[in-house]
Amino acid sequence: MKIVTSLIAASVAVLSLCSVALAQAKGGVIDVATIGEPPTLDPMASTADLVGMVTQHIYETLYTFDKDWNTTPLLAAEMPTISEDGLTYTIPLRTGVTFHDGAAMTSADVVASLERWMRIATRGKQTAEIIKSVEATDEATVTITLNKAYAPLIALLSLNNSAAIIIPAANAEQDPLTSFIGTGPYMLKEQRADQFIQLVRFEDYQSIDAEPNGYGGGRMQYLDEIRFVPVPDPNTRVEGAVSGQFAYADSLPVEAYERLSGGQTEPLVLKPFGWPAFIFNTKEGLGSNLAFRKAVQAALAPQDMMLAAFGSEEFFTIDGAFYPDNFAWHTDAGTEVYLPEGDVEKAKTLAQEAGYDGTTPIRILTSRQYEFHYKMAQVAQAYLEMAGFKVQLDVVEWATLTQTRTDPAAWDIYISHSPFLSEPALMGVLNDTSPGWWVSDAKAAALDAFNAEVDPDRRVELFADVQKIIYEEVPLIKVGNFNALAAQSPKLEGVTPASWPYFWNAYLTE
């Protein structure tokens, strides 16, 4: 029996997705080690990736992303019909979808949920400014009317953090949310803070009748139970994976790569995962001077920063473009000022031009929540000092950092990172109010043109202009691309490497 199953498992691996339904046995429980306790199980109420990762099993959105980061229907029956002027979106809904409490999902639930999203969610509130109305045309159709054409709308509705999830209309008034009821393939059974979040299969789940495709397509429910276990210490996550305690362990330090091979667990590399960035305070202090920002850009050596932060070339690439070449958005526009080795002389000249006095310290704000932030800060300090800058590293706790960065008087540079978002308009730096406060006429012009354009090919061209403006005005410095490391048990199959790992479609073999 064992031999047969493993033979089947092997042939499945070879045949890939062709014979999905045949080989995977239902059943099994997995423990997934996450980076901590999510602050809430309401993905509307938080933009944290961790919240999205856990709750995407419980709730669903109208649209989601396929494996190529295109938007694809989830609770919607198909892609929306968009009027000529780009102002009216008609969204047909799937019928026969039920919530975990047994009630059928209707257009009334969708309208109530989207209204809650516009009222509560950070991204929803921003979008609300351009949404004129959300109306139920009939039981299974919803119409969204806009004030002005806004191409990123469907991508926004597809995101899983600050997410436009669909919940029963009866719960939409709750804030904070207390009934965790969605339409997803798994439902919440028990949550014990800092111990586990236990999800069990939702037996009445209605999957889309199609092959799985990224977050979209069919969602299979092989596993009986998924338990998310918060393990804040990265080292403990590694040890737990190595000893076989966790079927999947998220976000591991790249140094652990070797240890993960050949035992109870295997390394899983998501490449490329995202990009770290040094974000300037363009509102006050040193960073409000463009020549200064350019001087810092010239002083830094991305090559060494990435090596120190990610250990080996397998885990990073040196790339100035905001999207790697497997994305349609990839372009080299403006990246000639991205210098892998840095240029000390150029930096010194620019610093002089900027009138830098040689004594005011550059205050770099960072934390050790993400060890690679801190390591890049250390290397950056060394290079900046070589170019004649004074540097003050402010290493604080994450809770302090998220507060301090909202104060323009308190910092000059802070370190952050972002996954490659399917929709460039969602990049934090493009938002005028996000810490850094980059505002300029050139930015507004390029961005307005980009957001109003509906034609996908034209948008790709317009994004090149956006990227060029970023490199001209240097509101941030992109350091490179990095890969993420996770670990999974060899018995766990069907997990696709993803920015927000998901475990429908996953199954256990013997």
- Window 225-254: residues binding other proteins (CB under 8 A): 227, 229, 231-236, 239-240, 242-245, 253
CA pair distance 103, 119, nearest whole angstrom: 24
Residue 94 CB, shortest distance to other proteins, in Å, is 29
Question: Of the ranges 15-23, 128-136, 206-214, 366-374, which one interacts with other proteins (CB under 8 A)?
Answer: 366-374
Q: Which residue has the tokens 């076989």?
A: 244
Question: Of the ranges 38-46, 73-81, 92-100, 127-135, which one interacts with other proteins (CB under 8 A)?
Answer: 38-46
Alpha carbon 43 to its chain centroid, in Å, reads 13
Cis omega before residue 38 (within 30°)? no
Identity of residue 82: I
- Window 200-219: residues binding other proteins (CB under 8 A): none
Size of the site for other proteins (CB under 8 A): 71
CA pair distance 404, 420, nearest whole angstrom: 25
Of 98 and 179, which CB lies nearer to other proteins in the complex structure? Answer: 179
Of 262 and 456, which CB lies nearer to other proteins in the complex structure? Answer: 262
φ/ψ (deg, to 5) at 104: -80, 145
Residue 39 CB, shortest distance to other proteins, in Å, is 4
CA pair distance 299, 418, nearest whole angstrom: 23
C-alpha distance across the termini of the chain, in Å: 10
Q: Per-residue string for binding with other proteins, 378-417, x by CB under 8 A?
A: xx--x----------x-xxxxxx-xxx-x---------x-
| The binder of other proteins chosen from 108, 196, 224, 328 (CB under 8 A) | 196
Q: Per-residue string for binding with other proteins, 414-433, x by CB under 8 A?
A: --x-----------x----x
| The binder of other proteins chosen from 203, 209, 258, 441 (CB under 8 A) | 258
Of 137 and 236, which CB lies nearer to other proteins in the complex structure? Answer: 236
Among candidate residues 208, 234, 231, the one with its CA nearest the CA of residue 220: 208
Of 106 and 303, which CB lies nearer to other proteins in the complex structure? Answer: 303
- Window 3-32: residues binding other proteins (CB under 8 A): 29, 31
Q: Which residue has the tokens 């586990």?
A: 196
Residue 123 CB, shortest distance to other proteins, in Å, is 7
- Window 275-314: residues binding other proteins (CB under 8 A): 304, 307-308, 311
Of 229 and 506, which CB lies nearer to other proteins in the complex structure? Answer: 229
Q: For residues 308 and 379, is the Cβ–Cβ distance under 8 A?
A: yes
Q: Which helix (H) or strand (E) holds 230?
A: strand 225-230
- Window 127-186: residues binding other proteins (CB under 8 A): 161-162, 176
CA pair distance 57, 277, nearest whole angstrom: 30
Of 174 and 326, which CB lies nearer to other proteins in the complex structure? Answer: 174
User: Would you call 214 exposed, middle or buried from its count of C-beta atoms within 10 A (0-12, 13-18, 19+)?
Assistant: middle
Of 337 and 396, which CB lies nearer to other proteins in the complex structure? Answer: 396
Of 306 and 506, which CB lies nearer to other proteins in the complex structure? Answer: 306
What is the 8-class DSSP label of residue 109?
Answer: H
Tokens of 304: 């060494």
CA pair distance 370, 364, nearest whole angstrom: 15
The alpha-helical segments, DSSP class H, found in 222-335 are 234-242, 290-299, 302-310
| The binder of other proteins chosen from 83, 90, 198, 496 (CB under 8 A) | 198
Q: Which helix (H) or strand (E) holds 4?
A: helix 2-15
Q: Does 439 bind other proteins (CB under 8 A)?
A: no
Of 234 and 334, which CB lies nearer to other proteins in the complex structure? Answer: 234
Alpha carbon 325 to its chain centroid, in Å, reads 18
Cis omega before residue 39 (within 30°)? no
Residue 242 CB, shortest distance to other proteins, in Å, is 6
Q: Per-residue string for binding with other proteins, 309-348, x by CB under 8 A?
A: --x-------------------------------------
Of 198 and 335, which CB lies nearer to other proteins in the complex structure? Answer: 198
CA angle, 306 as apex, 297 and 370 as ends, to 5°? 100
